[in-house]
Amino acid sequence: MLKLTIGNKNYSSWSMRPWVLLRQAGIPFEEKLVRFDAFDAGSQFKQALAGLTPTGKVPVLQDDALVIWDTLAIAEYLAEQFPEKQLWPKDKAARARARSVCAEMHAGFSALRSHCTMNIEALLPDTGALIWRDQPAVRADVERLVTMWSELLQAHGGPLLFGNFSIVDAYFAPVCMRLKTYALPVPPAIAAYVERVAALSGVAAWIADARAEADFRAFEEPYRLKR
């Protein structure tokens, strides 16, 4: 059976992507959660990953002796191993577009990721309002998301970005969580997409687990002194 090593569900946006993909697609897997304590070389987190992945980061997918440690690589591997799940769009042009927007997320949106760290359990609208006021790069990132998602929803007719659930929706699920946590302003059609993603069974299961963790990591929560 596939084994996926992840970090805290409340905080680990990169872990969320393949977990949601596997769960939503109905692909059986074993989960191993390594809780964040710190990220220095001597931390329990790093020690737990030693010998498993050269990056010392999560997520990591294991398929017997094969180890895959990048989210896009994990997604591509799953698409190849389970073609019947149609994790990428069937149409060639749509598939190329889907890969492009996933790669854009993988390499971009640094301001949104930096200033609005994923924290599913929290509700931080006041913090979000200050970030929105003071961080033009965050506003630019959200504007790009709105443009991208609007075009895709219109082109493919919804309810998700390429019609049916795909790798792309799993890839942007943590972004949806950020928009909800910080109550960042988006148009109604985009807010509705965010709610549809949150209601997906795989995403809802992740959210429930994140809220149940009861872990507080101060270095992950610059806007709160306690949970």
pTM (whole model) above 0.85: yes
Residues of the chain with CATH 1.20.1050.10: 92-209
Fold of 2-85: Glutaredoxin (3.40.30)
Joined together, the tokens standing for residue 84 give 């019947």
Q: What is the pLDDT of residues 2-57, one digit of tens each?
A: 999 999 999 999 999 999 999 999 999 999 999 998 888 889 899 999 989 999 99
Residues of the chain with CATH 3.40.30.10: 2-85
What is the CATH class of 92-209?
Answer: mainly alpha
Q: What is the DSSP letter of 164?
A: B
* CA 78 distance to own-chain centroid: 16
Alpha-carbon distance values, 82 to 19, 32, 48, 66, 78 (Å) = 15, 22, 29, 16, 6
